[in-house]
Structures are given as structure tokens and as C-alpha cells.
Amino acid sequence: MKNLRDTDTPCFRRVGVSDTKIKAQARFLMADHVSPSQHFGPDYSLLPTIESFGEHMSVPTGFDRSKREMLAEVLSYQYKGLPNQPDFSVLLRENTFVVAAFDGLNIFTGTLSFIYKIITTIRLAHALQAAYPECQFVPLFVMDSESDDFRAIASFNAFGHTFRWQDAHQGPVGSIDPASLRRILNQLPAGPLLFAKSYLENSCISNAVRAYMHELFGHYGLITLDPDNAMLKAGFSKTGQHGMEGLLSANRPPSTDVNLNLFFSASILPVRAVVGDVTQFRFWLEQKKLFDQLHMPFPTLVPRNQALIVKPAHLEKLQKFNVTWETFFEQNFCERIWYDGGDKKKSTSFSEEKKLTNQAFDAISDHVGHFGADVMQVLELYRSDFANSLRLLERRIHQAEQRRWASRNEQLTTLKNKLFPNGVDQERFANLLDFYWKDPHFIQKLYNTFDPLDFRYNVLLDE
């Protein structure tokens, strides 16, 4: 496979990494998936490392030729009309495996977390290809096209505004006609034409998403699959539904049912790894017993890359106040910044100087006391005036300190709110358009930067 990282496009500069951030976000589960095997418990034993994939490859897939032919046929049909189509014949080979990602059809790609998930999926497939050249690894995005949760996909944040698809729709979101998105397209101050072309030249959201995903990621080898297909569902049924009692929902197709979506995909795809958010792992792990019951290999679960993109001014601000990224990521950071980082907050006091001054006045008093009461009275007036002047100076310095720390507090709070809008991670709020329209190499730079098996939280400098 071509090394897509060796290009003239630079990487983002990694200016910070944090284990604290991941643990704070997913302490209930993440530690069980990226720590030594004794912490995994009885339901999961596959470590997400390059070495563990070698052991996983030795497990028979149980994925026969007829399923591969069906998958290639379905994808060929779904990609009909798109330029530069992938070579689906590679899926016919017994040594071809899929690295999959699952997500909804959020308009305009939703949040950056989706982009990071897809790039992690691609990078993992390429890393496995390099490590195991005797096999083929295909990155594949499985749409949640049969979801009926329209509100979940109908808004995104970009250019400082929230854009919302106001139309009312019922039924599977993948079948919705995207023509009415023209209103949002007309409101955008800027953006790649690929979204306008995809949404306005396709009759349903699923086809539109496939079109722009192919434009954005097709040259990396990504394939996009719509599971809402009669042939695929028939193939799933042939896998055998015994043992699924209590899991099947009469109102929800298996491709979108959180209790079955991973099992459904493994029934129609030769999937050996799944990239996702750790919140998805909980649902997927609940399906492992079903895999075991039907003697199907359970995919390796790999957390997606996480990142915060900062500008040089943001970095300079934190360095100015000597604040670490670990401290900045803490949830109560804004309450603690009066006390953390840089010089500790304390009021200037001249107590030692007052003591020395009084000693000096006492010494003067010893020297001039014989001049009489009038001289001593003047001396004590000077002592009192000097003490009052020091108290006034202390008060003014304290006020200046208060203003300085208030300014520091305000600047850091503003920065925190900018990078974590509404208290939400940037990657779960910001949209691709905020970056891609100004930097067409944005996706390539992420590809060059991410390590799919480095589970630390990345702070990336956008220079």
C-alpha cells in the first residue's frame, strides 16, 4: 500500500499530551481497554497493540467466499456513479480484513470527533498493512443509516453559530431527501463545494454522505457502507439468529440496534478491528457472549484518537502563566486558577520592613532622647506617618495584585471557554468547516500526526 504519510504536507506540532484527559473522560472503561490484560476481566482479552493483531489474525474468520462476493456486489452497486471507485475485488481475498468505524449521518460531518474516528480507522488499517504485508486491511465506515433519530443528526456548530436542519422527518434518516439543506448551505459564510454538490445532487442522505466521504477520504482507501440493504440483511439472517433472544428488537433493525450493531456488521464483514469512542465499547462488549456462542472472532476494540487543536496565541497564554495542559484539562480549572500555576497568589506585606523601621526609629530615639519631649514628639509623628504610608502602600499594592490576578483569571477562563465551548470538548463541539475551509490540508495533517495506537490526548498546534 502506498505510504500516504510521505507527502509535502507537514504534521501538526504536538505541544502536549495528557493521560489525565482520557482518564477523566472515560475512567469507567478506558483503563480496562488500554491497560495490562489482568485488568480486562473475563469478557475481553484482546489488547489493542500491533503485536496482538498478529495473534488475532491466526483465528479463523468463518467468513466464507459467498459473503465476500455479496459484500463486493453491494458496494459496487452503492458506489455506482462515483468517480475513482475503490477496487472491491480485494474483499474477495481470504486474507482481507476490515477495520471498521460506526457513526451516524450527522449533517456536514457533525463534530470533529467523527473526523478523528475516521482518520484513526484509516491510520490503523495502514499500520496493520505495514506490519502484516501478507494480509490486506481495508478501512470501512458503516453508516447508521437506519436510525430514526433525526434530531441527533440535524445540527452542527461552525463559524461561531449553530446551524439546525429545521425540517421534520420520520423514519430512517438515511432515506431523507437532503434538498432542503440548501437553506443551511446558503447561510454558511464559507465552505467546501463538496457539501453542496453532495447534498444537492443526491436524492437521499446516505448517498450524499457516501459522496462526500469518498471525496474526503477515498484516496486513503476508505470505503463507506450503507447497511440498509436487503442482500446484507439476508446474509445476516443466514448467520443464524439462535441465541439472540432478548437482543432483537421488533422496532429497530440490527444495524442500528446498540445491542446488535457490532454483531450484525461482523456477520456481513470480515471485521477484525473496530475503532470507536469508549462509550461505544460498553454496548459492544455486551455482544461478546453472542460472538462466543456462535464461534465468531470478536473484533479488537481500539479507542479513536483524541485531540485539541490550539493556536500559537493559546499556547503562549498558558506558557505566560506557567499552566500545564494537565491542569488546564481539569474540570474545576476555572475555580482553581487563582491558586495554580505561576506565582502563588499572596498579598504583599511589609511586616518585616515595618519591624526594621521600628527598630530604626527606636535607635534614633535612643540617640536623641536627651533633647527633650518636643524632639521625641516629632520623632513619633514621623514614625506614625511612615507606618501610615506603608499601610497605604500595602493597600494599593494589594489592589494592584487583585487586578493582576483578576486579569489572569479572566484571560485563562476565556481561553478555557474558547477551547471548551459550553464546557464541551472542542472535538465534540467544533465542525470540520471551522478548519478545512481555511486549510485544505487539514485532514492530511491529521493523518500525518495521529498514531492510531497512542491513546493519549493530543494537543496539536495549528501554526
Q: Is residue 457 part of a domain?
A: yes
Q: How far apart are CA 24 and CA 325, in angstroms?
A: 13
Q: What does the pLDDT look like over 255-303, one tens digit per residue?
A: 556 567 888 899 899 999 999 987 788 888 888 888 888 888 889 889 9
Residue 152: what pLDDT?
95
Identify the domain containing residue 126 by its residue range: 13-304+431-461
Indicate whether 207 and 190 sit together in one domain.
Answer: yes
Indicate whether 330 and 457 sit together in one domain.
Answer: no
Q: What's the residue count for the chain? A: 463
CB-CB contact of 123 with 307 (8 Å): no
Indicate whether 157 and 97 sit together in one domain.
Answer: yes
Indicate whether 238 and 321 sit together in one domain.
Answer: no
Q: What does the pLDDT look like over 2-11, one tens digit per residue?
A: 456 555 677 8
The residues, any chain, with a CB within 8 Å of residue 72's CB and separated by 6 or more, are 88, 89, 91, 92
Residue 191: what pLDDT?
62
Average pLDDT over residues 240-266: 64
Q: Which three cell numbers stand for residue 207?
A: 448517498
Phi/psi at 79 (nearest 5 deg)? -90, 5
Q: Is residue 243 part of a domain?
A: yes
Q: Is residue 115 part of a domain?
A: yes
Indicate whether 116 and 246 sit together in one domain.
Answer: yes
Indicate whether 154 and 18 sit together in one domain.
Answer: yes
Residue 407: what pLDDT?
84
Higher pLDDT, residue 157 or 63: 157
Higher pLDDT, residue 375 or 232: 232
CB-CB contact of 350 with 390 (8 Å): yes
Indicate whether 275 and 173 sit together in one domain.
Answer: yes
CB-CB contact of 209 with 227 (8 Å): no
Residue 164: what pLDDT?
96
Strands 136-143 and 96-103: parallel
Phi/psi at 141 (nearest 5 deg)? -100, 120
Q: What does the pLDDT look like over 205-217, one tens digit per residue?
A: 999 999 999 999 9
Average pLDDT over residues 52-64: 79
Residue 35: what pLDDT?
44
CB-CB contact of 34 with 301 (8 Å): no
Q: How many CB atoms lie within 10 A of CB 340?
A: 18
Average pLDDT over residues 239-264: 62
CB-CB contact of 224 with 206 (8 Å): no
Residue 378: what pLDDT?
85
Residue 23: what pLDDT?
45
Indicate whether 264 and 379 sit together in one domain.
Answer: no
Q: What does the pLDDT look like over 143-192, one tens digit per residue?
A: 999 999 999 999 999 999 999 999 878 899 999 999 999 999 999 986 67
Query: CB burial class (10 A; 0-12, 13-18, 19+) of residue 304?
Result: buried
Residue 314 has pLDDT above 90, yes or no: yes
Q: How far apart are CA 197 and CA 172, in angstroms?
A: 22
Q: What does the pLDDT look like over 341-359, one tens digit per residue?
A: 444 445 567 778 878 888 8
Residue 60 has pLDDT above 80, yes or no: no
Indicate whether 295 and 322 sit together in one domain.
Answer: no
Structurally, how many domains does the chain consist of?
Answer: 2
Q: How far apart are CA 169 and CA 176, in angstroms?
A: 7
Q: Is residue 442 part of a domain?
A: yes
Poorest-confidence range of 37-41, 76-80, 323-327, 384-388?
Answer: 37-41
Indicate whether 417 and 439 sit together in one domain.
Answer: no
Residue 248: what pLDDT?
53
Q: Which three cell numbers stand for residue 127?
A: 499500520
The closest alpha carbon to 176, from 203, 212, 211, 137, belongs to 203
Average pLDDT over residues 354-369: 82
Domain holding 291: CATH number?
Answer: 3.40.50.620
Q: What is the dihedral of CA 443, 446, 451, 453, to 10 degrees?
A: -60
Residue 405 has pLDDT above 70, yes or no: yes
Residue 364: what pLDDT?
84
Identity of residue 403: R
Indicate whether 261 and 229 sit together in one domain.
Answer: yes
Q: How far apart are CA 376 and CA 378, in angstroms?
A: 5
Residue keyed to cell 494480509? 135
Residue 19 has pLDDT above 70, yes or no: no
Q: What does the pLDDT look like over 89-140, one tens digit per residue?
A: 999 999 999 999 999 999 999 999 999 999 999 999 999 999 999 999 999 9
Residue 126: what pLDDT?
98
- In angstroms, what CA-CA distances link 397 with 203, 346, 354, 401? 68, 11, 16, 6
Average pLDDT over residues 320-348: 69
Classify the C-alpha dihedral 164-167-168-172 as positive or negative: negative
Poorest-confidence range of 81-90, 102-111, 364-373?
Answer: 364-373
Classify the C-alpha dihedral 342-345-351-354 as positive or negative: positive
Long-range contacts of 201-209, Cβ-Cβ distance < 8 Å, separation of 24 or more: 202/178, 203/177, 204/174, 204/175, 204/176, 204/177, 204/178, 205/105, 205/145, 205/153, 205/173, 205/174, 205/175, 205/176, 205/178, 206/105, 206/143, 206/145, 206/174, 206/175, 208/178, 209/105, 209/143
Q: How far apart are CA 40 and CA 24, in angstroms?
A: 19
Residue 28: what pLDDT?
43
Indicate whether 254 and 193 sit together in one domain.
Answer: yes
The closest alpha carbon to 306, from 451, 98, 423, belongs to 451
Q: What does the pLDDT look like over 407-459, one tens digit per residue?
A: 888 899 899 999 999 889 999 999 999 999 889 999 999 999 999 998 888 99
Q: How far apart are CA 236 and CA 69, in angstroms?
A: 14
Q: Is residue 7 part of a domain?
A: no
Question: Can you give the pTM of this predicted structure?
Answer: 0.85
Residue 369: what pLDDT?
74
Residue 4: what pLDDT?
65
221's torsion region: left (phi>0), alpha (psi -120 to 50) or beta? left
Average pLDDT over residues 242-247: 54
Residue 233: what pLDDT?
86
Average pLDDT over residues 242-254: 55
